[in-house]
Amino acid sequence: MKQRKNLLILAAILFIAAYFISFNKKNLTTEELVKTKCSRCHHTYEIVKDKRLSRLEWIAILDKMQANGANLSTNEYKNILNYLVENYSK
């Protein structure tokens, strides 16, 4: 009986660890962050993907999106801006 309880506790710990590892991985990719954050309102990511803008123009877009209610934290804003400039600039 005691062994079975230990096994259950071990399974629970493994489950929680796996959950946090996958959660952290998700947080790590800026691509996923951009896709999640920026397709919330436009429903499609095309609106972002089809653009080729300079850094300044992306800043203007991000500021406009913040005003629209994008609610990005300072870190998210910075990461998303860098990602957009790296991948979608002219």
Residues that bind ligand HEC (CB under 6 A): 37-38, 40-42, 47-48, 51, 61-62, 64-65, 68-70, 80
The residue behind tokens 């979608």 is 88
Residue 38 class from Cβ within 10 Å (0-12 exposed, 13-18 middle, 19+ buried)?
A: buried
Residue whose CB is less far from ligand HEC, 18 or 55: 55
Nearest approach, Cβ of 47 to ligand HEC (angstroms)?
A: 5
Residue whose CB is less far from ligand HEC, 11 or 46: 46
The residue behind tokens 């399974």 is 11
Nearest approach, Cβ of 57 to ligand HEC (angstroms)?
A: 9
Q: What is the CA radius of gyration of the chain?
A: 19
Nearest approach, Cβ of 58 to ligand HEC (angstroms)?
A: 7
